[in-house]
Copies of this chain bind each other. A is one copy, B any other.
Amino acid sequence: MSEPGSGGESLLFLTDEQLRKGIEAMFFAYRGFTADPDRILDGMDYGRAHHRALHFIHRAPGTTVNNLLNILGVTKQSLNRVLRTLLDDGLVESRVGKQDKRERHLFLTAKGAELERTLSDAQRARMRTAYRAAGPVAVQGFRQVLEAMMDPEMKRQYLALKEGGA
């Protein structure tokens, strides 16, 4: 039985108790993760769904509606409701595709980019504080565990975004 400190790998970090703590940490941390943007959006006519759309359009300018649908993991009807308001309010611009005229390519307007920046600044500020407090080694572990937690398809999406932005 692998004894802790005996030189072999201790498996004590895989006990149900440790796993439960990890689960609860995810629950409480995710609340903090979304708290700042939520606070900013509260009072505007937008919500978390608008934030997500803005984020990924910012990340992948010119993305198609279908692509965004896959990334966000919602139905087109659900996305459409959100996208509709962003388009009407002039935060997002939709351009007909040049190769394929069925596709719509999405871009942030100056106004949209401004709101995106406000939201992501707030979210990054918390992230930065947490990163700084935990240190670079912890951050690497953080990312490793999160990646291992994703569904394969989600991980594919995540890595595709990472490459594009690197």
A127: B residues at CB distance < 8 A: 19, 22-23, 149
Which residues from chain A sit less than 8 Å from chain B, CB to CB?
A: 9-10, 13-14, 16-33, 35, 52, 55, 59, 73, 120, 123-124, 126-151, 154-155, 157-158, 161-162, 165-166
Q: Are A130 and B148 in contact (CB under 8 A)?
A: yes
Q: Are A151 and B17 in contact (CB under 8 A)?
A: no
Q: Are B17 and A26 in contact (CB under 8 A)?
A: no
A26: B residues at CB distance < 8 A: 29-30, 33, 146
Q: Are B14 and A165 in contact (CB under 8 A)?
A: no
Q: How far is the CB of A126 from chain B (nearest CB, A)?
A: 6
Q: Are A151 and B32 in contact (CB under 8 A)?
A: yes
A137 to B137, CA, bound (A): 9
Q: Are A29 and B147 in contact (CB under 8 A)?
A: yes
A161 to B36, CA, bound (A): 24
> Can you pick out 24 interface pairs between chain A and chain B where the beta carbons lie within 8 Å of each other?
A13-B131, A13-B140, A14-B131, A16-B124, A17-B165, A18-B139, A21-B162, A22-B139, A24-B59, A24-B158, A25-B146, A26-B33, A28-B146, A28-B158, A131-B145, A131-B148, A134-B144, A135-B144, A138-B144, A139-B145, A141-B142, A141-B144, A141-B145, A142-B144
